[in-house]
Amino acid sequence: MTDTEVLPVLSETGAATLRADAVSAWFGDHKVLDRVSLTMPARQVTALIGPSGCGKSTFLRVLNRMHELIGSASLAGQVLLDGEDIYDRGRRITSARRQIGMVFQKPNPFPAMSLYDNVLAGLKLGGIKSTRAGRDELVEECLTRAGLWKEVRDRLRQPGGALSGGQQQRLCIARSLAVRPRVLLMDEPCSALDPTSTRRIEETIADLSSEVTIVIVTHNMQQAARVSDSCAFFLAEQGTPGVIVEHGPTDAMFSDPQDPRTTDYVNGRFG
Ligand SMILES: Nc1ncnc2c1ncn2[C@@H]1O[C@H](COP(=O)(O)OP(=O)(O)OP(=O)(O)O)[C@@H](O)[C@H]1O
């Protein structure tokens, strides 16, 4: 980067409530979600749980307009960010993706790019000029919030690919934070990591949750219980599209589920 660069204009910041209202999704004529409604409150962690293939990742992609990148994909329903429809015709797709960030299952930093530039990689959306000092500050802030600063502060010019898997995932979280998202979507962010790195990411999630709304897909019930405030249990039975069977506070979902299918799933009896 040169000395004066462009940082994005940030008109709206701060954690926002995300609400899905009667969301259905298709790939071609295969319907994979049927009228799914869910409120994901600001400054809370919502976990999406359920067996493989029930539509959790598809639902996550609908929440930040990534679903429409797939050629055969279509959808119905609304997604509201603090009450505003992210699919409204007047809204830019880049605005939704900036405000609603995504961290993927497999850490995907730019391997040859420095750690410093990796953090700033999402900032090319245009906006206000920044100085070198402003960028330094942002890099430090985002790496600190992602729980990685102390480990990498002396080697910011090393390539992203030189980090361990868990560090790479925290670098990806730092990169997501740099554009100041209001919601962070995480699709099984620990499934490629060892238990120690997993714990570290879980601590990061706990630290971030006071500032940004988090929605996490996880297959790990202990993890859902540890990190989330509320849970939604998805299920697609016998070739039917995925629905939410039950949702509510995580404690209640695990200790006193209302639906016998939830009881079976959270106790590991299927899926
Ligand atoms: N790009 C795609 N094209 C066609 N069908 C797809 C595509 N992605 C997902 N599907 C189908 O949509 C359904 C839901 O898949 P999805 O990945 O959302 O489920 P999931 O609950 O996240 O599964 P997992 O836990 O295994 O990741 C499945 O039947 C899947 O085969």
Task: Read off the amino acid at residue 171.
Answer: L
Tokens, residue 32: 């994979």
Please give the pLDDT value at position 45. 98
Task: Read off the amino acid at residue 18.
Answer: L
Tokens, residue 64: 């930040």
pLDDT above 70: residue 5:
no
Please give the pLDDT value at position 66. 93
Name which residue leads in pLDDT, 43 or 93: 43
The answer to whether residues 32 and 58 touch, using CB atoms and an 8 Å cutoff, is yes
Q: pLDDT, tens digit, for every residue of 158-184?
A: 999 999 999 999 999 999 999 889 999
pLDDT above 80: residue 37:
yes
Domains, the chain, with CATH or none: 5-266 (3.40.50.300)
Please give the pLDDT value at position 62. 97
Please give the pLDDT value at position 1. 47
Q: pLDDT, tens digit, for every residue of 38-67?
A: 999 999 999 999 999 999 999 999 999 999
What DSSP line would sit under 36-91, residue for residue? Answer: EEEEE-TT-EEEEE-STTSSHHHHHHHHTT-GGGSTTEEEEEEEEETTEETT-TTS
Q: pLDDT, tens digit, for every residue of 72-84?
A: 999 999 999 999 9
The answer to whether residues 21 and 75 touch, using CB atoms and an 8 Å cutoff, is no
ipTM over 0.90: yes
Q: pLDDT, tens digit, for every residue of 222-256?
A: 999 999 999 999 999 988 999 999 999 999 999 99
Closest CA to 79 of 62, 58, 98: 62
The model carries a pTM of 0.92
pLDDT above 80: residue 126:
no
Please give the pLDDT value at position 42. 96
Q: pLDDT, tens digit, for every residue of 181-231?
A: 999 999 999 998 889 889 989 999 999 999 999 999 999 999 999 999 999
| DSSP reduced 3-state for 202 | helix
Expressed in angstroms and rounded, the spacing between residue 239 Cα and the centre of ligand 1 is 12
pLDDT above 60: residue 8:
no
pLDDT above 60: residue 10:
no
Expressed in angstroms and rounded, the spacing between residue 91 Cα and the centre of ligand 1 is 27
Mean pLDDT of the region 123-131:
66
Binding-site residues, ligand 1, Cβ < 6 A:
27, 32, 50, 52-58, 70
Tokens, residue 100: 């609603």
Return the residue whose CA atom lies nearest to atom 31 of ligand 1: 53
Confidence of residue 34 (pLDDT cuts 50, 70, 90): very high
With the most atoms of ligand 1 within 8 angstroms of its CB, the residue from 58, 238, 244 to mutate is 58
Expressed in angstroms and rounded, the spacing between residue 25 Cα and the centre of ligand 1 is 11
Full strand arrangement of the beta sheet holding 230-235: 100-103, 183-187, 213-217, 45-49, 230-235, 243-249
